[in-house]
Amino acid sequence: MTKTKGLKWCLFFILIVSLCLISFNGVMAAERTEIRVGAPASITGLNAMTGKEHRWGYEQSVKDINAKGGVYVKDLGKRLPIKLIWADDKSQNDGGAQAMERLIKRDKIDLALSSNITPINIAAGTVAEKYKVYYQIVVSWIDFIEKENFKWVSDLFSDTGRAAQSPFAIWDEQLPPEKRPKRVALLMEDNQDGQGFGMGFKAWAEKYGYKIVIDSPFAPGTKDFSSHILKYKAAKVDAILTLIPPTDGITLLRQMKEQNLKVPYIHGWKGFWTREFEKAMGGDADYIIHDGFWSDKMGAPGAKKLQEQFIKAFGYDSTSVGLSYANPQILAMAIERAGSFASAKVRDQVFGGEFKGTMMGDVKYNEKGLAFTPFLALQWWKGERMPVYPYKPDVWKLKMRPR
């Protein structure tokens, strides 16, 4: 009795789920009224904060494109608006794959834009590759993407090698020899980005002739840095290079203050750019250097307005949203050049293509579909972000915190 009943229930549930899924398995209209662009994004989970800003950048960009009447598709002889479709990658590496499956199979997307974490995009890119859907990535290390040998995936970002060069270049360029750091410490989050970055720093330090005295990573999720700080104190460290999440970045600096450690040069990736950081630190944020991919001061068309809109939406300014904004821009240009939104044709325009006047300035992809954009380094000063890399002598010169 029990067994058959159990099976009936089992069948019943499978039936319900199948009905739900089959009935929403996406039905395409005969005539195309929109270009369907899918994007995995970290809507929930650890990365939800930057995920939200990233999504805002895409949405704003698509809104602006559609406000101009959409994208002209020559093959159809008319302008079509872009419809942006989101799928949650849950901030998990393999979540990118699942989100991409959904976008391709359920939402029947034509083209795809990326999430903003390298391993998530690799997982999603692998799926895009399987079904030959063009996937246009931003914010993923190009050296990692290059290793995958993708045929249907392009990427616009920096690489860990060159990004790790900036602190050493800054010191050599802007400091007299006697003031340059002598004892450098690395504090890397023990994940893909952190390990890759750490290797980059070590390689560049050797080339530039700087000495790394402490290289101690921390496990993701670490909430206490006092032991690291004691090491720095003991080793008399005068520069810290770190990749640390925003919340923990505040913890690190607070604990340094508690432990009475002052370091002349602190340069942080991922962690120190948030406005929350500046607010939490108050005056102590001064001298600290943070990363960014974009600045409204780079002079791209519409950059000032975009920054204003961002501030209006989030209550603080952004150092990254331009890159997110540029991604749909480039895609739209590529579609117009291809005269079609078929994946193969759009991809062929991007690989080896050059796109002028985007929110990231002029973007040039190589034959493998990789485009490099330099990483910025900005120094906090009285609540403002001052550019220290690339070096602009007329605007700002690096300041070292007095001991």
Partner 1 sequence: MWEYITFGLIVQLFVNGILFGTMYGIAAIGLSLVFGTMRIIFLAQGTMIIFMAYICYWIFTLMGIDPYLSLVIIVPLSLLLGIGLYHILFREAAGLEDKNISLLIAVGLMFLMENLITVIWTANPRFIETSYTSFAFRPMGINISVTRLNGLIMALLSTAGVLLFLKKTMIGMAVRAASEDMISATLVGISPHRVNAVAFAIGIGLAGVAGVGLATIYPFDPYYGFIFALKAIISLAIGGIGSVVGALLGGILLGLIESLASFFFSGGWSDAISFAVFLIVLMFKPEGLFVRSINKA
Partner 2 sequence: MEDKRSILISVLVVIAFACVPFVLDVDKSYFVFFLFLSFCYVTITQAWNLVGGYTGQISLGQHAFFGLGAYTTAIIWLRDITKTGYFFDPVTMILSGLVPVVLAIIVGIPLLHRLKGDYFAIGTLGVGEIIKVLFVKGGSFTGASDGLHLPSTVFESMKPYYWTGLFLAIFSTVVVYFLIRSRIGLALRAIREDETSAASHGVHVLKYKVFAFAVGAFLTGLAGSLYAYYLFHINPDAVLKLNWTLYPVLMCVIGGTGRIMGPVIGAFFMNGVFFLTDIYFVEINPIMAGLLIIIVMRFMPGGLIGLKDMIMSRK
51 or 353: CB nearest partner 2: 51
Phi-psi region of 238 (alpha: psi -120 to 50; beta: other; left: phi over 0): alpha
Q: What's the CA angle centered on 251, arms 222 and 167, to 5 degrees?
A: 90
Nearer residue to partner 1 within complex by CB, 258 or 308: 258
CA–CA separation, 163 vs 144, rounded Å? 13
Q: Which does 22 bind (CB under 5 to 8 A by kind): partner 2, partner 1, none?
A: partner 2
223 binds partner 2 (CB under 8 A): no
Q: E strand or H helix at 343, and its extent?
A: helix 343-350
| Contact pick of 65, 113, 122, 371 for partner 2 (by CB under 8 A) | 122
Tokens of 137: 């990535």
Which residues between 135 and 154 bind partner 2 (CB under 8 A)?
144, 147-148
The nearer residue to partner 1, 217 or 302, going by C-beta atoms, is: 217
Asked if residue 68 binds partner 2 (CB under 8 A), the reply is no
Name the residue nearer to partner 2 (CB basis): 14 or 235.
14
From the list 81-89, 229-237, 279-287, 385-393, the region that binds partner 2 by CB under 8 A is 81-89
- CB half-sphere exposure, 258, CA atoms < 13 A: 12
Candidate list 9, 227, 258, 279; residue touching partner 2; CB under 8 A: 9
The contacts found for 232-236 with CB under 8 angstroms, 24 or more apart, are 232/185, 232/261, 232/263, 233/259, 233/261, 235/183, 235/185, 236/183
β partners of residue 154: 136
Give just the sign of the alpha carbon dihedral 207, 213, 219, 225: negative
Tokens at 16, concatenated: 């319900």
Instruction: Report the run of H or E that residue 22 belongs to, with start and end.
Output: helix 2-23
57: tokens are: 């950048």
CB of 97 to partner 2, least distance (A): 6
* Nearer to partner 2 among residue 75 and residue 94 (C-beta): 94
Residue closer to partner 2 (CB basis): 27 or 234: 27
Question: Shortest Cβ distance from residue 237 to partner 2 (Å)?
Answer: 24
Region binding partner 2 by CB under 8 A among candidate stretches 85-93, 205-213, 267-275, 351-359: 85-93
Binding site for partner 2 (CB under 8 A): 1-7, 9-11, 13-14, 16-18, 20-22, 24-26, 43-44, 86-88, 92-94, 97-98, 101-102, 105-106, 119, 122-123, 126, 129-131, 144, 147-148, 190-192, 194-196, 219
